[in-house]
Structure 1
Amino acid sequence: MEHLLERLGRWFAGSKTKWITVAVWIVLVGALSAIWPGVNEKEDNNAANLEASMPSIQAQQLAEQEFPSDSGIPALLVWQRNTGLTEQDFGSLQQLAAWLTDHPLTGQEGVPPFHQMPLPVLQKLASEDGTAFVLPLFFSKEADTDTLEAGMKQIRERSAEIFGADPFAVSIGDREDLSARVSGPAGISINAVGLFSSADVSLLIATVLLVLVLLLLIYRSPILAMIPLIGVGFAYGAASPILGKMADMGWITVDSQGISIMTVLLFGAGTDYCLFMISRFRQVLGVERDKTKALVRTFKDSAGAVAMSGFTVVIALLALLFAKYGAVHRFAVPFSLSILIMGAASLTLVPALLAIFGRGSFYPFVPRTPEMIAERARKKGKPVPAISPAAAKQQGGLIGRAVTRRPCLIIAITVIFLGACALNATRIKYTVDLLSTFPESSPSREGFAVIGDKFTPGELAPIKLMVNTEGKDVPLKETFSALAYVSKVSEAAEGSGNPDIKAIDIELNLNPYSNEAMALLPELRETAERMLRTAGITAPEEQVWISGQTATQYDTELTNQRDTALIIPIVIGLIALLLLLYLRSVVAMLYLVLTVVLSYFSALGLGWFVIHDLMGTAAIQGLIPLYAFAFLVALGEDYNIFMISSIWRKSRTMPLKQAIRDGVTETGGVITSAGLILAGTFAVLATLPIQALVQFGIISAIGILLDTFIVRPFLVPSITMVLGRFSFWPGRGPKRKRAEQAEPYSAS
């Protein structure tokens, strides 16, 4: 393996082959971008998240079949005038309803005939205080977000003509003027896509600027700062058309949320892989005069750890393919493929660029050997600096000395701290309410607030309950009207294909998107089954169907729980297997995995403290723990792999204690830099207006910082020190080389 790595290193460092490598990447990215569409062009933000076998989806299909007039995507046009709606307002609303009837929008399926109602009857449909009115509009299930948004734009333009001003531009709190908002599933869908779409460009710009600024601050070299960004740029340039083509062929589905997170992951993790090699190159240049030999040695020392780190992340993210929830399943291929391509760029393009720029990569702080420093001083007529062997070969930094002198104390302190943070994770409350992740100023959320205040919140998303009566009379409306948490029940409707199927719409007196509403689903089903059983219907559990947003969220929560319980053990198992194959040590594999898992739960607990106790958020999105686990465990293991590889390599030429001390010191700078950059890129998500991404960004950034500043420099080397050579069990550790083969040490 070392011979193969040396040959590859010579290829990338060769006088001609380094240019060939760069040219291949330019041609590859250029050709792919020219012939295949970019991934952003193939977004599908309306892809289903639940499988067809889920109860809510089956109920939805039955509703579309038996009650087609009630099916579709509802858009609730919420109108409000704080001083009270006027007769002129109601007359204008009738004009709008008439226009929608005569000029149906693309995808429109139905609108209530408000224009045919006498004005006094219409006024009775307003809120009790007469200040608010809801005009429902239904679109077909096939209508995508672009169609919905185009329809709402037409309504807004027509409303401005009818009302004489644009009510959608009026502040909801205005006391005099009429205001309007679009809420309901259609409004929520439009806002969700709009928020993610608007976040793409700003997220990319913010991420690039942050990485560039951090690289300049840490390494103070403009050329060096650009090399990782060039590598990431080429990797994205190759990944985007490949993913776009896969989406075009129907092999995968991508959405704007996934692309946003993929961008952050690519810049954060990609920069890390580049820095792992760049930092080693700088170290070797301090002891090797020939830049070609230095790069070959750098590649031989670092390529294995970089490849293993990247492959760990790829495998962990591919495990998301086992998810049944669509939004999670769709992440697997884009994330893993982009990291795979980034790993390839780190091992090919970046070494070639380092070979081209050589020592100039680090200008103005160019690393030189002691001999080169002395020659430079003599040429300038300055005194030659005295470099003592003791100074040139330091015995490790402060942290390196601490973990080898007081390992048990450090283990105790770090485990107590991480354990206390992890314990706080037991307090976390979760939600699958999409609306709560929007900013309070989002139109759909403002409209929902008006409905909840002036009407009943359940009107926003009624629950449709259907039963097969088998021709028997059942007190459907009476049974559910008696429930304390139900505010309104519609008259029972008869199925168009099967008249034995009856349906009612149930409006709850609480937020239909809340956890409390979802918790009522089993009771609603049980009530329906008991009613059917009393009527003498056999197998009532097979004759009840519940659809609607509340039922969909209930199935979403169950699917999330299933995915989390399945994927977390798979990720742990795959990473453990890779570590075992790479390190050939059961003991090292065990404590490396356990420390990162402990760090993950600590990040959840500390993240909950920030999100809940400091920011006042009541609950976090239910998908975030699974997302964070896949990222944090894989990325956290990257740092462990890079550091432990250094310790393993040094233990070939020195006692293990010194190898730990020097390994911690050697990798400390680069891992700290990489961790700050990776945490910073995830923290960029916290600047977006989407609460789900804010929460994910905060927890991920905290987890990376814990790995960077606690687990990697303190906990892992301290455990290695306590276990000693037992860390290599069942092996005996790397074979010791002869002293004359030992590599010179260069403190970073």
Structure 2
Amino acid sequence: MARREKTSATGTIPGNPRRRFGKGLRVLLPALVIIAWLVGGAIGGPYFGRVGEVSSNDQTTYLPSSSDATQVQKLLGEFRDSDEIPAVVVFSSGAALDETDIAAVSREVSRLPGIPGVGAGVSPGIPSKDGRAVQAFVPVQANADIGSVVDAIGASLRDAAPAGVSVHVTGPAGFTADLIEGFSGIDGILLGAALLAVFIILVCVYRSLLLPLAVLATSLFALCVALLSVWWLAKAGVLMLSGQTQGILFILVIGAATDYSLLYVSRYREELRVSTDKWAASMQAIKKSAEPIAASGGTVIAGLLCLLFSDLKSNSSLGPVASIGIVFAMLSALTLLPALLFVFGRNAFWPRRPKFEPEAVAAEHGVHSTGLWARLARQIRGRPRLIWTVTTAVLLLGVLGATQLNASGVPQSDLVLGASEARDGQKILGEHFPGGTGSPVLVVAPETQLQETANVLLAHDGIKSVSVVTADSPSGSAAVTTQGIQPAGPPGNGAPRPTVVRGDVLLQGTLGAAADTEAAAAVVRGIRTGLDGTVPQALVGGVTATAIDTNDASIHDRNLIIPVVLVVILLILMLLLRSVLAPVLLVLTTVLSFGTALGVAAFFFNNVFDFPGADPAVPLYGFIFLVALGIDYNIFLMTRVREESLRDGTRQGIIRGLVITGGVITSAGLVLAATFSALGVIPILFLVQIAFIVAFGVLLDTLVVRSLLVPALTYDIGRAIWWPSALSRKSKFRTDIDDGAMPDPHARHRG
């Protein structure tokens, strides 16, 4: 009867054209939304296997254009007539190799140019002084499939190697192949692990099958369309992609889209309990969830876009790439999911369909409610100051451990976890040859100052030999000593002429230590200092210089971007909550949570996992994701608290807000932690460390900061938390003044 009266009151009586038009629109609009996302997913899906076409894992491509290492890398092709990447093949044996073995090795090496992707300038085998190893330099074409070429080189040489001789392919090409192999599981293993983890959590949360599938579909379609957009932007040169960026994009979109979906599902279920019309329930759910979802997504996007201030292109490119993912995550949660749930109606929650029970909803979520969150709310109401002070003290203890995090960089050989042929080969190479063989220091200097430049290199004990690139030398370079360029070949030959490009020459210094060690970095820094005083025009590049410039840029980015992110997020929260004090406290609690997560991570990295250190970008990425995503849960909580406070007063609003949002936020936190944990299946040190920091930090935010610290602190402060808005001033609600009687939960009808 009530429903017929409402229909009649609005004029939409049976047979009325407006009613027929409205019913048609209710069918057509969700159908069009679902079809649009299906088309986008069908087009974007195949691009999962094509990311390698537009991505690069070469560190020099991500350095600032002003970096010495970047400028040297750009000039290499002009000096060598190619941009080939050197591989170093090392043959080793427990006993001395005889002339027959060395000849056999050299013969097989000379056949390598027959392998597709191998350049013509393969060096002959070079025996070590101890006679137990031979090395050869093999150029690999940069546009080839480096991983496949390196595998083919190794397989070919092992098949023909003399008995008792082991073969390892190392050098820059070998380590690049390791990285490619490490990232190879992103499209399959990473995505599968993340989706499986999310599905299991959703089934446990909803005890339903259809609803988790709808939420997963929302996440997958968001990812497909985001990847489609990012791929074409990368193809056009607008964005840069790497395996690292791709992995983070996948995880971020799945986690964020699922979180936003959980918030919408919670509102939709609540509306179905106070309305018999699923269209009205959908519209109300969209209306009430749009603001927190938009605020949450906007905060994450704002934090990510702060990465545009980065000197490193790997950081600055992640900002817009991940932001595009967040945009589609929000759109899918506010369009595709509502359309799917409208079609399914209450059956989406089967077998636990929500019933129409407005009186029961009105009686829920108060201080007299039952359940875990109601009991926790009563504890907070009874002892707010004790709870927030003890919680803060425990978190501060964790922050102390952050000083033990070694984030000054890691050797290239340790970037890939697990077995590594390139790492093993470098170790063997260092036992028989200078450790920096195959990864020399590269110096571009004026031809007129060639000797002065060589003298600076030779003055360092860490440099074992110096050569200059030549076009008329069989090996492509000629040795340089303090007496000048040395003749090549038999005595009596003249000294080769160096290759000159626009008045400059290219010198190569062989390092005594492995190129990715601190000892090598100290030598390169010393060379740069020495050249600044004698040949200021000289540019120093190479593998070691690239690592130095990358670490220096990462430290600069970390010190610049973290304060910028804090200011931006603080301003957004002030606009959202119409307050100054609440946003300041929310940001401080999130920073405290981040510090604790970093401290706990440092303990596990150093004492449990025995990691060799961390990249300087690890704390920055951890901060960006934890602060931006951690603020999400505070936004979900505090926007609902403010909504309830406007009706029942601040303290009762805090209690109701905590009880109402407790389940959905905890579920969202578990989902996000699980998705970031999936990054750990990729054997790349950086991603494993980010996975641990973010997953632990999200759980800390969800289970401790948002459940205990923030509610207890805001309850203790009371309505002053909304200062300076009108909500902070004199209130008609007794609960804003003291802990007296709560309003009668049956006094109003929610809906």
Q: Is this a same-fold pair by TM over 0.5?
A: yes
Corresponding residue for residue 665 of structure 2 = 671
Corresponding residue for residue 511 of structure 1 = 514
Taking the TM superposition and a 5 Å limit, the aligned residue runs for 1:25-40 are 25-30=37-42, 39=51
CA RMSD in angstroms comes to 3.5
SS in 1 for 2:500: coil
Q: Does 1:144 align with 2:143?
A: yes
Taking the TM superposition and a 5 Å limit, the aligned residue runs for 1:243-322 are 243-322=230-309
Contact 1:310 1:343 in 2 (8 A): yes
Deviations 1:18-63, CA, capped at 9 Å, x for gaps: 3333233224444666999965653344470112311222344556
- The aligned amino acid for 1:462 is P
Counterpart CA distance in 2 for 1:16 and 1:420 is 57
Counterpart CA distance in 2 for 1:707 and 1:38 is 36
Corresponding residue for residue 165 of structure 2 = 178
Range with greater deviation from structure 2 (646-655 or 388-397):
388-397
Contact 1:273 1:306 in 2 (8 A): yes
Range with greater deviation from structure 2 (18-27 or 222-231):
18-27
Contact 2:304 2:624 in 1 (8 A): yes
- The aligned amino acid for 2:26 is G
* Shift in CA distance, 34/89, structure 1 to aligned 2, threshold 3 Å: closer
- The aligned amino acid for 1:718 is A
Q: Does 1:52 align with 2:65?
A: yes
Counterpart CA distance in 1 for 2:178 and 2:372 is 58
- Once the two structures are TM-superposed, the CA of residue 643 in structure 1 deviates from its matched residue by 0.3
Corresponding residue for residue 168 of structure 1 = none
- Once the two structures are TM-superposed, the CA of residue 93 in structure 1 deviates from its matched residue by 1.5
Counterpart CA distance in 2 for 1:233 and 1:194 is 25
Range with greater deviation from structure 2 (422-431 or 479-488):
479-488
| 2:121 aligned to which of 110, 115, 125 | 110
Deviations 1:167-188, CA, capped at 9 Å, x for gaps: xxxxxxxxx7322121111111
Deviations 1:585-638, CA, capped at 9 Å, x for gaps: 111121112211222222111111111121111301222112112211111111
Contact 2:365 2:660 in 1 (8 A): no
Deviations 1:227-272, CA, capped at 9 Å, x for gaps: 2101012112222222222222222222222112211111111111
- Once the two structures are TM-superposed, the CA of residue 690 in structure 1 deviates from its matched residue by 1.5
SS in 1 for 2:240: coil
| 2:181 aligned to which of 164, 173, 194 | 194
- Once the two structures are TM-superposed, the CA of residue 672 in structure 1 deviates from its matched residue by 0.8
- The aligned amino acid for 2:97 is L
Taking the TM superposition and a 5 Å limit, the aligned residue runs for 1:485-500 are 485-489=462-466, 491-492=479-480, 493=485, 495-497=498-500
- The aligned amino acid for 1:721 is Y
Contact 1:51 1:324 in 2 (8 A): yes
Counterpart CA distance in 2 for 1:371 and 1:472 is 86
- The aligned amino acid for 1:260 is G
Counterpart CA distance in 2 for 1:475 and 1:652 is 73
Counterpart CA distance in 2 for 1:35 and 1:61 is 30
Corresponding residue for residue 623 of structure 1 = 617
* Shift in CA distance, 459/697, structure 1 to aligned 2, threshold 3 Å: same
Q: Does 1:356 align with 2:367?
A: no
Corresponding residue for residue 567 of structure 1 = 561
- Once the two structures are TM-superposed, the CA of residue 86 in structure 1 deviates from its matched residue by 4.5
- Once the two structures are TM-superposed, the CA of residue 466 in structure 1 deviates from its matched residue by 5.2
Contact 2:222 2:332 in 1 (8 A): yes
| 1:451 aligned to which of 422, 429, 450 | 429
Counterpart CA distance in 2 for 1:742 and 1:318 is 46
Counterpart CA distance in 1 for 2:367 and 2:176 is 66
Corresponding residue for residue 126 of structure 1 = 128
Counterpart CA distance in 1 for 2:120 and 2:568 is 49
* Shift in CA distance, 330/197, structure 1 to aligned 2, threshold 3 Å: farther
Corresponding residue for residue 74 of structure 1 = 86
Corresponding residue for residue 537 of structure 1 = none
| 2:597 aligned to which of 589, 597, 603 | 603
* Shift in CA distance, 583/509, structure 1 to aligned 2, threshold 3 Å: same
* Shift in CA distance, 713/395, structure 1 to aligned 2, threshold 3 Å: closer
* Shift in CA distance, 126/672, structure 1 to aligned 2, threshold 3 Å: same
Counterpart CA distance in 2 for 1:643 and 1:702 is 20
Deviations 1:464-515, CA, capped at 9 Å, x for gaps: 34554846964945x6555444455553256422799676543444332123
SS in 2 for 1:239: helix
Contact 1:419 1:602 in 2 (8 A): yes
Range with greater deviation from structure 2 (24-33 or 559-568):
24-33
Corresponding residue for residue 383 of structure 2 = 406
- Once the two structures are TM-superposed, the CA of residue 198 in structure 1 deviates from its matched residue by 2.8
- The aligned amino acid for 1:189 is T
Counterpart CA distance in 1 for 2:326 and 2:232 is 17
Contact 1:12 1:351 in 2 (8 A): no
Taking the TM superposition and a 5 Å limit, the aligned residue runs for 1:197-596 are 197-370=184-357, 397-430=374-407, 431-465=409-443, 467-468=445-446, 470=448, 474=452, 476-477=454-455, 480-481=457-458, 483-489=460-466, 491-492=479-480, 493=485, 495-497=498-500, 505-529=508-532, 532=534, 540=535, 542-596=536-590
Q: Does 1:24 align with 2:64?
A: no
| 1:649 aligned to which of 633, 643, 648 | 643
Range with greater deviation from structure 2 (330-339 or 361-370):
361-370
Contact 2:446 2:504 in 1 (8 A): yes
- The aligned amino acid for 1:426 is T
Deviations 1:111-170, CA, capped at 9 Å, x for gaps: 2244xxxxxxx5xx2252x33221112345xx1351x33433443454356448xxxxxx
Gaps of 5+ in 2: 1-21, 468-478, 486-496, 734-742
- Once the two structures are TM-superposed, the CA of residue 335 in structure 1 deviates from its matched residue by 1.0
* Shift in CA distance, 698/590, structure 1 to aligned 2, threshold 3 Å: same
Corresponding residue for residue 737 of structure 2 = none
Contact 1:56 1:555 in 2 (8 A): yes
- Once the two structures are TM-superposed, the CA of residue 330 in structure 1 deviates from its matched residue by 2.2
Deviations 1:179-203, CA, capped at 9 Å, x for gaps: 2121111111111112102343111
Deviations 1:268-323, CA, capped at 9 Å, x for gaps: 11111100111222334344444444333322322211121112112222222222
SS in 2 for 1:133: strand
Contact 1:207 1:681 in 2 (8 A): yes
- The aligned amino acid for 2:119 is Q
* Shift in CA distance, 242/474, structure 1 to aligned 2, threshold 3 Å: closer
* Shift in CA distance, 732/675, structure 1 to aligned 2, threshold 3 Å: same
* Shift in CA distance, 505/389, structure 1 to aligned 2, threshold 3 Å: closer
Corresponding residue for residue 155 of structure 1 = 153
Corresponding residue for residue 5 of structure 2 = none
Counterpart CA distance in 2 for 1:292 and 1:27 is 24
- Once the two structures are TM-superposed, the CA of residue 370 in structure 1 deviates from its matched residue by 4.6
SS in 2 for 1:297: helix
- The aligned amino acid for 1:612 is N
Q: Does 1:96 align with 2:86?
A: no
Gaps of 5+ in 1: 1-9, 115-121, 165-175, 374-385, 533-539
Counterpart CA distance in 1 for 2:315 and 2:649 is 46
Counterpart CA distance in 2 for 1:150 and 1:666 is 55
* Shift in CA distance, 411/739, structure 1 to aligned 2, threshold 3 Å: closer
- The aligned amino acid for 1:112 is S
Corresponding residue for residue 659 of structure 1 = 653
Contact 2:87 2:438 in 1 (8 A): no
Counterpart CA distance in 1 for 2:530 and 2:551 is 22
